[in-house]
Amino acid sequence: MRFLQMLWRRYTLLCTLVITSLPLIIIGWAGRSGLYSEYEFTPLTEPGLALVMEGIHDGVFPWQSLIRPKEAEETDEAAAEEIAAVSSTEEAASESGNPAAEYTEAEDSVVEKVETIPSNAIRGGTDAIPEGVCNPVLQAEDYDVVNVAFLSPDDTEYNTDTEGIFAKNGIYFKLESVDPSYFSDALFIGDSRTVGLCEYGSLKGNAAFLAKESINVYNILDKELWFTDNDGEGWDAAVEEILSEHTFGKVYVALGVNELGIGNTYMFYEKYREILEMIREYQPDALIYIQGIMHVSYEKSSSDSCRNNTVICQRNYAISTLANGRDIYYIDMNPYVCDADGDLISDLSGDGIHLKASAYERWDRSLMENAAVIGE
C-alpha cells in the first residue's frame, strides 16, 4: 500500500493517464465487433485506445454503445405495433366479408408515411446520377499535340464530398425542353463566349448576363464584369455584388477557355468549385447549371499544345463531377456545334474558338432543350 502511495506521489500524471485510459482501452477492445466494427484494427500495432480516439474524431462516442440498443428496441417496437395494427384490420375486414373496403383506412395511414415525389422526377441510387438527368461529356479526337503539364493524371479523384451542395439525395429531375420564359429569372456568368451569347443569342432582355472578355476562374471573383439585367440595361459590377443584391432562380456558369494555358485540370477544378460554393452561398434556392467548355476547331485542336480538345474534355469531365442532378446540373452544348470527331465545326467559327453571330442560335437551342423543371 505504501508502495502504491509512493508511486502516486511521484508519478501522479502518469498514474492519472493510466487510470483514465484503461476504461477506454477496454471499451475499444469490447467494441471491435459492435460500435467500432467498421474500423480497421491491428492489435499488434494499435492499442484499443486508438479505436476510441478515432471514433471520437468521427463523431462516434463510447456511450453510444449504451444508447443504440434502446433506440433500436423502440424502433422495432413501433414497427411491430404498426404491422400488428394493419394485420388486425385485415382480419376484421375478412370477417366482415368486405376486405377491400375495411382495409383502405389502415392502408392509407401507411401510405401517407411513404415519401411522394413529383410526377416529372425519378428515384435513383446515390452512387450514380441516372441517365438523362445530366448531359454526358462529349469526347473528341486526340491529335497528340497536348502539353501534359496542362493535364492531370487519368486516375485523379475529384473531391465532390458526401454532404453539402454536392450531395445526392436519390431524387432526380430529367432534363427537358422549355420555352424562353424559363430563363426570365436566370443569370448567365461567363467569359467572351457568354458575351457573345448575350449579344447575338435570343435571351437578351429576358435573362440577365454577367460576363467579360478574357475572364477566367482565377480572376473572376476579383474583377468587375459587365452586368446586363432583364431589361437590357447594363453596368459594371462584381460577381459577389450581383449575387448578394439580386435573387435568381437559375445560375448558368460557362468558363474555361481562357484557363487552358494556366495550370492543370485539378487546379482549374478547385477554382471552379470555389465559384459554385459562392453562388450557393448567395443563391441558396437557385438551380446551378455547369456548362461544358465549348470545344475548339480541328485547326486549333490539332496544332495548339494547350488550347485543344484533349485538355477541354478532361476539364469538362472534372467539373461534371460537381453536378448532383438535384440542384446542380451539367449540360453540354458541344453536340450542337461539333462534328463527328468532337471538333468545333469550322464554318461556325471565325477563329476556331468563338462562334459566329449566326451560330449562337445553336447554343440557345441547347439551353432550351436541356433544362430541369423542378417539382411539377
* pLDDT 10s digits, 184-229: 999 999 999 999 999 999 999 999 999 999 999 999 999 999 999 9
Residue with the bigger pLDDT between 17 and 292: it is 292
Highest averaged pLDDT of the listed ranges 94-98, 107-111, 155-159: 155-159
Mean pLDDT value of segment 77-98: 50
- Domain range list for the chain: 2-57, 64-111, 121-372
**Of the candidates 303, 371, 309, 370, which has an alpha carbon nearest to the alpha carbon of residue 339?**
309
Contact 366, 204 (CB under 8 A): no
Residue in the block written with cell 475548339: 296
CA 11/CA 264 separation, integer angstroms? 56
Mean pLDDT of the chain: 81
Burial of 208 from C-beta contacts in 10 A (0-12 / 13-18 / 19+): buried
- What integer pLDDT is reported at residue 204 of this predicted model? 92
Residue with the bigger pLDDT between 71 and 322: it is 322
pLDDT at 97 over 70: no
- What integer pLDDT is reported at residue 352 of this predicted model? 97
Contact 329, 371 (CB under 8 A): no
Please identify, in words, the CATH class of the domain defined by 121-372: alpha beta
Residue with the bigger pLDDT between 317 and 16: it is 317
Mean pLDDT value of segment 322-340: 95
CA 210/CA 184 separation, integer angstroms? 15
Q: Residue 25 — very low, low, confident or very high, per pLDDT cuts 50/70/90?
A: low
- What integer pLDDT is reported at residue 60 of this predicted model? 55
- What integer pLDDT is reported at residue 86 of this predicted model? 45
Residue with the bigger pLDDT between 89 and 315: it is 315
What angle (nearest 5°) sits at the alpha carbon of residue 313, between those of residues 312 and 319? 85
Mean pLDDT value of segment 50-62: 60
% residues pLDDT > 70 (the chain): 67
181: DSSP letter: G
pLDDT at 306 over 90: yes
Q: How many CB atoms lie within 10 A of CB 36?
A: 23
Bridge-based pairing state of the strands 175-176 and 371-372: antiparallel
- What integer pLDDT is reported at residue 175 of this predicted model? 95
- What integer pLDDT is reported at residue 124 of this predicted model? 73
CA 25/CA 50 separation, integer angstroms? 8
Contact 260, 295 (CB under 8 A): no
Bridge-based pairing state of the strands 234-238 and 224-228: antiparallel
pLDDT at 127 over 80: no
Mean pLDDT value of segment 302-311: 97
- What integer pLDDT is reported at residue 336 of this predicted model? 98
- Which amino acid would we find at residue 2? R
Q: 242-301, pLDDT tens digit by residue?
A: 999 999 999 999 999 999 999 999 999 999 999 999 999 999 999 999 999 999 999 999
pLDDT at 113 over 50: no
The secondary element (H helix, E strand) that includes residue 253 is: strand 250-254
Residue with the bigger pLDDT between 126 and 307: it is 307
Residue 293, CA distances (Å) to 170, 187, 201 in order:
27, 17, 17
